[in-house]
Amino acid sequence: MNRRAYNFNAGPAALPLEVLERAQSEFVDFRESGMSIMEMSHRGAIYESVHTEAQERLLSLLGNPKGYKVLFLQGGASTQFAMVPMNFLGQGQQANYVLTGSWAEKAVKESKLIGDTHIAASSEADNFMSLPNLDDISLSDNPAYLHMTSNETIGGIQFKQFPNTGSVPLICDMSSDILSRPLDVNQFGMIYAGAQKNLGPSGVTVVIAREDMITNSPKHLPTMLRYSTHTSNDSLYNTPPSFGIYMINEVLRWIQERGGLEGIQVQNREKAGLLYNAIDGSGGFYRGCVDAASRSDMNVTFRLESEELEKAFIKASEKEGFVGLKGHRSVGGLRASIYNAVPMESCKALVDFMEHFKQTHG
């Protein structure tokens, strides 16, 4: 391998090189067991130590909030879209949602299959190119919870703050920006995230929830769709995605080694600032897609003056070793996903490429 690709994939996404190399060194013989962690029983002491360590390390990075439990589930955020209303939407209550883009829409769609669903705020009128004002969130008369999507991967918008919902649990899909910045977990009843952007490989879904919310799920639900099943069995009711959880633990270790969430936030803001400055300083050759106040630090979306020019940009970038810069098929355009593991060197290389492309095509 002459060099690593400049990986800007939206997910599965870049993993830290140091983590990959550590996993490579332990792949065949894990902790002198004579086998890979993928080969050993999830009931054995070696795997269970990794499992517990990952849970504890995650809570430690988040300041060890009292009364919260970490679950390692499967099925991605898409399964959580259904599990949330199934477990928390009671008779006579309404599920409340803030509608901000494609992933929030998918969550709302699933909720409507389960019960009464209320849109508490929406930026649909602006084609999801901005965020609703937190002061404009209007809860229903008897809200079971308020659900938000912290970062819309496709559109490229991100909440920098969250509302105080009082006694109404705030539930958040943080699949694409979890652990990218400091976070007060106590604001939330539950946070969930697919691992494949900032936490590890695909196949694991992380849930961080108040224990009082996930200990008494409705008994009529299928066993695997009850949070209480996984809570009472410490996420070991069925065989977990053990290698993915091992990788999450190593990514969490890597974050700790870089100054925790405060250190990671500094790096992420520098990377995002570098790209947005290149877009805004291009004299209109590149155009940011979303309102500047709503811009994501994780997914930088931008356009050129024509689809033909965008295609030429993608083709030329791929020849130079850039991967994943094509926008989502539902919206088109261009997108650079710059999650925690994307190094500053890749972002600098992209800015240099953007400048060269402008000079040769402007």
Q: State the Cα–Cα distance between residues 70 and 211, nearest whole angstrom.
A: 9
Q: Running DSSP on this structure, what letter comes out for residue 12?
A: S
Residue 107 half-sphere exposure, CB side, CA atoms within 13 Å?
Answer: 31
Q: Are 54 and 72 contacting, i.e. CB atoms less than 8 angstroms apart?
A: yes
DSSP-based three-state secondary structure for 305? coil
Q: What is the token pair recorded at 197?
A: 């952007």
Active-site residue, 103 included: yes
Distances (CA, A) of 346 to 5, 7, 42, 337, 353: 9, 8, 37, 11, 10
Question: Alpha helices, DSSP H only, in the chain?
Answer: 17-26, 45-61, 76-88, 102-114, 227-232, 242-257, 260-280, 307-319, 344-361
From the candidates 173, 177, 271, 326, which is the catalytic residue?
173
Determine which one of 197, 254, 271, 297 is catalytic: 197
What three-state secondary structure class fits 56?
Answer: helix
Helix (H, G, I), strand (E, B) or coil at 269: helix
Is 254 noted as a catalytic residue in this protein? no
Euclidean distance between CA atoms 108 and 260, whole angstroms? 33
296 neighbors 128 (Cβ within 8 angstroms): no
Note whether 323 and 5 are within 8 A (CB).
Answer: yes
Alpha-helical regions (H) of 241-324: 242-257, 260-280, 307-319
What is the set of active-site residues? 103, 173, 197
